[in-house]
Amino acid sequence: MMEAIIIGIAKSAIRLATPYLYASIGETIGQLSGVLNLGVDGVMLMGAFSAFYMVLKTGNLWLGLLVAIIVGAIFGLLIAFINVTLKAEQGISGIGVYIFGLGLSSLLFSTMVGTVQTVSGFSPLSIPWLSNLPIVGEIFFHQNILVYGAFALIPLAWFILNKTPLGLSIRAVGQNPEAADSLGVSIVRIRYFTVVLGGMLSGIAGASLSIALLNVFQQNLTNGMGFIAVALVYFGAWRPTTVLTGALLFSTVNAIQIWVQVHGINIPSDFTLMLPYIVTIVVLAAMAKRRIHPPAALNKLFERGE
Amino acid sequence: MKMKRLIVILTLISMFVLLFGFGASAEPFRVAFLMPSAINDFAWSQSMYEALLTIQKEMGKENFEFVYSENMFVVADAAAAIRDYASEGYDLVIAHGSQYGASLSDIAPDFPDTSFAWGSTANVFADLGITNIFAYEPFSEQGGYVNGVLAAKLSKSNIYGVIGPIETGDAKRYTEGFKAGIKSVKPDAKINVTWIGSYSDVALASEAAQTHIDAGADILTGTSQMTVGAIGVAKQRGALWFGYDVDQSTLAPQNVVASVDVIWTIALKPIIEMIQKGERGGKIFTLNLANGGLKIVVNEEALVGKTIEDIVKGNVEVKVEE
Amino acid sequence: MKYRNIREMSMSFIPIAAFLLALFIGTIMITFLGVNPLVAYQALLKGAFGSTNAIADTVVKATPLLFVGLGICIAFRAGVLNIGGEGQLVVGALSATIVCLNFSDLSGWILMVLALLVGLLCGAIWAGIAGFLKAYFKVNEILSTIMLNYIAAYGMNYLLRGPIMDPLQIELGSFIPQTTRLTHLVDLPRLIPTRLHFGTIVAVVFAILVYIFLWRTTIGFRIRMIGQNIQASRASGINVQKYMVLAFVLSGALVGLGGAIEVLGVHHRLFTDGSVSGFTGSAGFNGIVAALFGQLHPIGTIPASLLLGALLTGANKMQRAVQIPSALIGALNGLIVLFVVGSEYLRRSQASRMERSAEPKTNSKNKNENKKESQ
């Protein structure tokens, strides 16, 4: 009985965490190079719609994913252009991207699709042998491929950021742009790269919702998930492994509170719904002793002169 | 000679009357429609939008015009919109959402020649001396009750899951009705209720559905637009779904057993007639099974017959607890 | 601002040009949907400024933007990023409402002022939580304020569907999540017979007060200094943590007051639809945009809020007049924000180009270019 409960909650948590993982890692990489993007939710919505529409029309899931990546990259280019080349106030431009992405995805949905319908998205894929492990097998190895991708992304991001020259350049650009520049690193090129990559990952995050986990699209499908993803970057202190912790913590508490509601435990739903948010803050506060190294050049929401 | 003149005058008068009468009825009936979500939300707003389209089809585009404003969830903006539409001379302004009532009570007195309608509610602000507001109130608990009875007859596990937005309004009434309906057939049923805390969090609705099914539910139901997530899960895991607001079977034809379709035209048509006769408000229109305001769109017709009859004959009383 | 020459004056037209460029792209989208763009934009202007009622609507929409914007001015200038406007608006509104509901035997004026004060205090406390967590527990404030927004929303839902729900709703059986209409005694006075209410005056007064505070008091100076250079502030003996918390508290106070004023001046009750944006109209986020467009200057935030309010009001009117989908309005709003914020670059580069041309001819040109690239 207990086993079934743990398996259920854990599987839920992993599914819920997937879009956060893609989007948060994307934002982490961008922020490490010194660029803040608050428009993640808007890009997720555009990615979600593009993937959904492609799958609706062609039935090809990989094509849908590809389109989401391309659309995410295009938005990434837009964001990079505004934030890096035009050196705009990154906070406002992010909000602008969000509002634009929300509006455009809704508009395209209304005009190109019209009514709500489902698609047959990525279905759960069992990993041979591993999926037969007791408990762990059921929880981790019976998920769909985009879930696997999200979790594979963590060690990949860690490796790239910590063990490759590219990662070093990224972190240098965000930490000390003058020094990086004098060493011949192109600040502009790195930042464009990270922001476009971030856009692609946000696009995949959206696709994970519309063609894998939920298999549907609706106006404002993400319902603010992108902002939670940005918040989780701060929980993660710009480290992929800690971002994973944050995403799993938030999602697990969410899964638990749903379980609590389903099993009729007499707490008003509003309070259980608050739990993931409260717990995230409390845990972060409890980690107060650890050292945090924000990218020194992270262009904060105000720019104090040239 | 006099006779001839009389006939000419009479003919002229009758021609005049006919022309005038023609002219009066040639003006289309104009409706402005405000809603808190989109016309394709597969729930609340779509339901009313479809009703207006139906009326337009029946009356003809030249006799019935309507304009609309979607996503008016910001109440202050909605108030500006209501005021604006009223000042543009629309015959009827439908503010489709319970959050608009307060604004209507402020605005309606300023536009005595305009009619307003809102719901779900039974309040026409008669105590404030307002006479140009109509109210419409679907008896969602009745629809819930019938869905519950059907669900109870179909369930094998006798465990049911409800996925609602927040515990207020129609959602609350529907859920209470659903529980009562099930209990009337199987008093020992286990009905689990979750509240998502929003009308649009599809991901959370989907996980709630998963958790319900994990807990043994083989029948799910719920209200509002986020239920598309739950329906998707029902489809994936083979659970049955009971819908509300619109016929939701298009989303999962093998899994959606029945939906409570709210037929708003049952209220809209008499409202339009009353306005055309000069009465601008003050009446509450209930939509229930008896008057056809609620229609159970079902795949298995046979199960329904008895229960609807019972309610209509008043054999079954549905009470909603706080 | 004095325009020394035509070129300087033309600089301030850059944001306007950007705005028009965004509208041009909007024109393409609008035409694509089969609507006459000229009619559409005419409606936009009419909706924002075309009548007394329109102007009143614009100003009423701008008022919470100004309150939030002022709060943001203080916070961002202290280097703390208060993204919790939505939650603080709600907490301010909720507390003011509860005061009005429970102390209805007090005289009108006293109750009104008390409610506004309580709203201000509760907004301050709500933001103060985030400030305290940042200063003493290193909890990043972007995270805590966003999380607190949700907590406030769920708290509001709980109260409105239970303890403070209008008894009439329970009686009627409709269970609409709203409070009863507050006593008319606490309605903010109207300025003209429109929706324009006294809260706007309060906002403008506070804008001046915030200006005086930030530039004419020691505390304000210290707050700005922390935002400029946190190391130097610490070195000069300023208790950075205390001032961080203070910046948050003051920020939340302004926003909370704004929320209370929205209740007493516009809605006269509190309601929910699950999310908070039905009540706030996303002023908690739009206020940030207003403050940033106003260059984080309290006086600059006034026209910025007004313009943003005009845009939002006008856009809604445009939707109604030509019946374009509200999603298009949203996309257009986003585009306008993007174009205007992107045009800052042109304005800045023009400005520095003119500065350089006024300087004596040295190697300054090369130095400036290097500085820009390495940013």
Q: Do A91 and C148 touch (CB under 8 A)?
A: no
Per-residue pLDDT, C274 = 83
The pLDDT value recorded for residue A213 is 95
Tell me whether residue B315 is in a domain.
no
Which tens digits make up the pLDDT trace of A56-92?
999 999 999 999 999 999 999 999 999 998 888 888 8
Does B3 fall in a domain? Answer: no
Number of structural domains found in chain B: 2
> What confidence score (pLDDT) does residue C369 get?
39
Which secondary structure element, helix H or strand E, spans residue C252, and what is its range? helix C240-262
d(CA C248, CA C264): 24
Q: Which of C151, C200, C273 to mutate to test the interface with B (most CBs of B within 10 A)?
A: C273
Given this model, what pLDDT does residue B41 score?
93
User: Are B147 and B219 contained in the same domain?
Assistant: yes
Structure tokens that stand for A108 in this block: 């395209």
Residues B74 and B109 in one domain: yes
Domain identity same for B249 and B282? no
Whether residues B193 and B234 share a domain: the answer is: yes
Tell if the CB–CB gap between B97 and C316 is shorter than 8 Å: no
If pLDDT is split at 50, 70 and 90, which confidence band does B14 have?
A: low
Nearest in space to C351 (alpha carbons), one of C1, C56, C60: C1
CATH number at residue B50: 3.40.50.2300
Inside any domain, residue B278: yes
Which of chain A's residues have a Cβ under 8 Å away from the Cβ of B243?
A: none
B248 and B158 within one domain: yes
A239 Cβ under 8 Å from any chain B Cβ: no
CB contact under 8 A, A263 and B215: yes
Same domain, B186 and B49: no
Q: What are B161-175's pLDDT values in tens digits?
A: 999 999 999 999 999
* Shared-domain flag, residues B233 and B150: yes
Give the C-side interface with B, CB within 8 Å.
53, 57, 60-61, 153-154, 157, 160-161, 168, 170, 172-178, 181, 266-269, 271-275, 277-279, 281-282, 312-313, 316-317, 319-320, 323, 325-327
* Inter-residue contact C59 to C306 (CB < 8 Å): yes
B3-15 mean pLDDT: 73
Same structural domain for residues B65 and B150? no
Q: Which domains does chain A have, with CATH numbers?
A: 2-287 (1.10.3470)
The pLDDT score that the predictor gives to residue B240 is: 92
In B105-119, which positions are buried (b, 16+ CB within 10 angstroms) versus exposed (e)? bbbbeebeebbbbbb
Question: Which chain B residues are closer than 8 Å to A116 by Cβ?
Answer: 40-42, 228, 251
* Low-confidence residues in chain A, pLDDT < 50: 300-306
Question: Are residues B275 and B194 both part of a single domain?
Answer: no
Which of B71, B85, B98 has the CB atom closest to C176's CB atom?
B98
B307 domain-assigned: no
Q: How many Å apart are CA B151 and CA B260, to the nearest integer?
A: 13
CB-count exposure of residue B267 (10 Å: 0-12, 13-18, 19+): buried
Burial class (CB in 10 A: 0-12, 13-18, 19+), A145: middle
Give B120's contacts in chain C (Cβ within 8 Å): 174
Alpha carbon of B262: minimum distance to chain C alpha carbons (Å): 17
Q: Are residues B251 and B155 in the same domain?
A: yes
Of the partner residues B77, B121, B172, the one whose CB lies closest to the CB of residue C316 = B77
For B188-232, how does the pLDDT look when each residue is reduced to its tens digit (9 = 90+)? 999 999 999 999 999 999 999 999 999 999 999 999 999 999 999
Q: In this structure, what are the phi and psi dihedrals at residue C34, rounded to the nearest 5 degrees? A: 85, 25
Q: Do B131 and B58 lie in a common domain?
A: yes
Whether residue B302 is contained in a domain is answered as no
Q: Which of A104, A187, A232 sits opposite C331 (nearest CB)?
A: A104
Contact yes or no for B203 and A213 at CB 8 A: yes
Res C297: pLDDT: 95
Instruction: Please indicate if any CB of chain B lies within 8 Å of the CB of A14.
Output: no
Q: What six digits make up the tokens of B312?
A: 């209509």
Asked if the Cβ–Cβ distance from B322 to C61 is below 8 Å, we say: no
The rounded distance, in Å, linking the Cα atoms of A98 and A100 is: 5
Nearest to B212 among A220, A223, A262 (CB): A262
Q: Smallest Cβ distance to C374: which of A107, A187, A301?
A: A187
Range of B250's domain? 140-262
- What are the pLDDT tens digits along chain C (375 aa)? 455 566 666 666 777 788 888 888 888 889 988 889 899 999 999 999 998 889 999 999 999 999 999 999 999 999 999 999 999 999 999 999 999 999 988 888 899 999 999 999 999 999 999 999 999 999 999 999 999 999 999 999 999 999 999 998 888 888 999 999 998 888 888 877 778 999 999 999 999 999 999 999 999 999 999 999 888 999 998 899 999 999 999 999 999 999 999 999 999 999 998 888 889 999 999 999 999 989 899 999 999 999 999 999 999 999 999 999 999 999 999 999 999 888 877 777 777 777 777 666 554 444 443 333 333
Residue B317 inside a domain? The answer is no
**Domain end (from B262, B281, B301):** B262
The helix (H) or strand (E) run that includes residue C54 is helix C52-77
Interface residues on B facing C, Cβ-Cβ cutoff 8 A: 36, 38, 67-77, 80-81, 83-85, 97-99, 101-102, 120-123, 137, 165-169, 172-173, 197-199, 320, 322
- Residue B268 covered by a domain: yes
Angle at C298 between CA C294 and CA C299, to 5 degrees: 80
Å between B163 CA and nearest CA of chain A: 9
Whole-angstrom distance, CA of residue A86 vs CA of residue C343? 8
Say if the Cβ atoms of B80 and C157 lie within 8 Å: no
Distance between CA atoms of residues B14 and C109, nearest Å: 65
pLDDT at A138: 87
Q: A238: distance to nearest CA of chain B, Å?
A: 26
pLDDT of A133: 87
Interface check for C327 against chain A (CB to CB < 8 A): the answer is yes
Question: In the prediction, which pLDDT does B307 show?
Answer: 62
Q: Which residue of C has its CA nearest to B80?
A: C57
Report which of A131, A146, A137, A124 is spatially closest to residue A22, judged by C-alpha positions.
Answer: A146
Last residue of a domain, one of B222, B243, B262: B262
Task: Specify the 3-state DSSP secondary structure of C178.
Answer: strand
Size of interface A-C (CB pairs under 8 A): 173
Residue B86 falls inside a structural domain: yes
A249 within 8 A of A283, measured Cβ to Cβ: yes
Query: Does residue B157 have a cis peptide bond before it, meaning omega lies within 30 degrees of 0?
Result: no
pLDDT of residue A296: 82
pLDDT at A297: 81
**Whether residue B127 is found in the same domain as residue B173:** no
Return the partners of chain A (3 or more C-beta pairs < 8 Å). Answer: B, C
Instruction: Residue B197: list chain A partners with CB under 8 A.
Output: 269-270, 273
Q: Binning pLDDT at 50, 70 and 90, where does residue B268 land?
A: very high
